[in-house]
Amino acid sequence: MISLKFFIMTFLSLIQWLFLSNFLVGFSGLQEYVEAVSFQHFIKTRSLISMDEINKQLIFSTEDNGKENKTPSSDAQDKQCGTWRLKITPVDYLLGVADLTGELMRMCINSVGNGDIDTPFEVSQFLRQVYDGFSFIGNTGPYEVSKKLYTLKQSLAKVENACYALKVRGSEIPKHMLADVFSVKTEMIDQEEGIS
């Protein structure tokens, strides 16, 4: 029977081999992982996780006991330790962070619906910093980055519109109706830009 540890190590070595062989040029699984980890990190700390911190989480150690039948004296000789690493590339990191902005936009709108008025302003400030960082890359980075920059800009606009409505009209509209106002504005923005 194949052990779970053996299966995981085989799978990780296959992924690593494919990655190093450039077969996963369009593989978005790593970007999705970056998005998920950075979203969790943002919720906990209100900051962006670094690529190095993510890569530290992708180091796996195993201890292979070798033979099934052992004598006590041969135990130390048969044990083998292995370390497996999966590295996030700078491109995967950037594209994952760009995807994060969509999740943060949804978090912002949902927080308003829950009566949390502070989160949209925190998210807006964070998204502005991310957008400014991506603007430095602009069209000099990989093609996928420039495509995601457009979506990032849309997410930022939606969050800034929500913050504007909170600041200007927040006292006029009951908290339970604010989310409806934002969803209507979001639909209008999407229609203007030909998304829906």
Residues 88-114 pLDDT 10s = 988 889 899 999 999 999 999 889 888
d(CA 163, CA 29): 32
Q: What is the DSSP string of 83-101?
A: EEE-PPPHHHHHHHHHHHH
Q: Which two tokens stand for residue 123?
A: 């998210």
Calculate ∠ Cα 36-30-146, nearest 5°. Answer: 90
Q: Burial of 16 by CB count in 10 Å (0-12 exposed, 13-18 middle, 19+ buried)?
A: middle
User: Which residues lie closer than 8 Å to 63 by C-beta, 6 or more apart?
Assistant: 79, 80, 81, 82
- pLDDT tens digits, one per residue of 15-47: 565 555 454 444 578 899 999 999 999 999 999
User: Tokens 């800009």 map to which residue?
Assistant: 153
Nearest to 51 by CA among 72, 37, 67: 37
Domain ranges of the chain: 90-192
- 90-192: CATH topology is Methane Monooxygenase Hydroxylase; Chain G, domain 1 (1.20.58)
The type of residue at 185 is K
**Any known ligand binding at 35?**
yes
Residue type, 33: Y
Q: Is 103 annotated as belonging to a binding site? A: yes
59 beta partners? 85
- What's the mean per-residue pLDDT of the chain? 77
Which has the higher per-residue pLDDT, 148 or 78?
148
pTM score: 0.69
